[in-house]
Amino acid sequence: MKRKSSGSCTTAFPSETSKIRSKVLKYLTGKKILDFGCGTDKVVPHAIGIDMRNVPGVDVPILKLDDVYTLEITTYQNELETFDAVYSSHFLEHLKDDKMMLKSWIKLIKPSGYLVLYLPDDAYYNNAINPEHFQRYRHLVFVQFFRKKFPLMEVIDHGPDIGPDRYSFYMVAQKIDENIEKDKIMENEELECLRRLAKAARVALNNFGKRMSLHDLAKVVCEYEGKYEKETESKD
C-alpha cells in the first residue's frame, strides 16, 4: 500500500501555488484575477488576494468563513461576469459547502473566462490527519463531477501533479459564451438546411433529368423537405 503525503512546502516550493504556477500561467494573463486562499504567494502579482489570514499579499481578508460564499452579492455585486479568471489553490477542500463556492466563482467569471483549481488528491494526500479539510477529492472523479454539475463550464485542461512534495491535481474550466454558442447553433442549422436542399436537388435531378424548370425543381425540393419534416416529427 502506497504511503500518502501529509503535505509539505519546501525551499524549492515555498507554497502550493509555486508548484503549479508555471503550468497554469497561460490561463491567467487577464487584468482581473481573483486568487482565493492566496496566503502570502498570489499566483500573479496583480491578482486580488482573498484569504482568512490577514497576511502580506491578502487584499480582501475574510473575517468569517461563511462570508466567502457570498462575495458575489456583497463585495463584488456590481462586478458579476467581469473577472478574467478565478484561481484557487488548496482552498476548496477547507469549505463545508464546496458546491456553493463553485457556483459563486462561476458567477464572477466573465464569458470565455477561466476557473483554475489546484487541489490535493486523496489518492496521494493524507486528508485524515488534517482536521481543516472537509472535502476529499480525487482527480478524475472531481473532473467528472464538475462536468456534470456545471454544464456552462467547459473543462479544457486537467491533470495530476504528483512527485516529491507534490500530491495534487489541477483543473482548468472555461466559461461558455452563450452568445457564441447560439451563433454556432444557428450556423449548424443553416448548414444542415443547405445539405438537405442539396440532397433534395440531387434527388430531383436524378429522377427527372437535367432539363427541369426552376419551378419543377423548387416543387420537388419542397416535397422533399415536407417529407423530411414529417420523418423528424415522427422520430420526436
DSSP code string of 23-87: HHGGG--SS-EEEET-TT--SSTTSEEEESS--TT-SEE-SSGGGGGGGGGTTTTT-TT-EEEEE
pLDDT in tens, 36-47: 999 999 999 999
Across the chain, mean pLDDT equals 85
pLDDT in tens, 194-203: 677 677 667 6
Question: Strands (DSSP E) along 121-165, which ranges?
Answer: 153-163
Going by C-alpha positions, the residue among 50, 46, 40, 33 that lies closest to residue 18 is 40
* pLDDT at residue 65, rounded to an integer: 81
Determine contact, residues 90/167, Cβ cutoff 8 Å: no
* pLDDT at residue 197, rounded to an integer: 67
pLDDT in tens, 163-214: 989 999 999 999 998 766 555 555 666 667 667 767 766 766 676 655 656 5
Entry pTM: 0.75
Q: Which amino acid is at 172?
A: V
Cβ-based neighbours of 25, under 8 Å, separated by 6 or more? 43, 44
Q: How many CB atoms lie within 10 A of CB 168?
A: 23
β-bridge partners, 153:
175
Going by C-alpha positions, the residue among 178, 21, 34 that lies closest to residue 109 is 34
CA–chain centroid gap for 132, Å, is: 26
pLDDT in tens, 114-149: 999 999 999 999 988 899 999 999 999 999 999 999
The fraction of the chain above a pLDDT of 90, given in percent, is 58
Determine contact, residues 199/183, Cβ cutoff 8 Å: no
The span from the CA of 73 to the CA of 104, in Å, is: 9
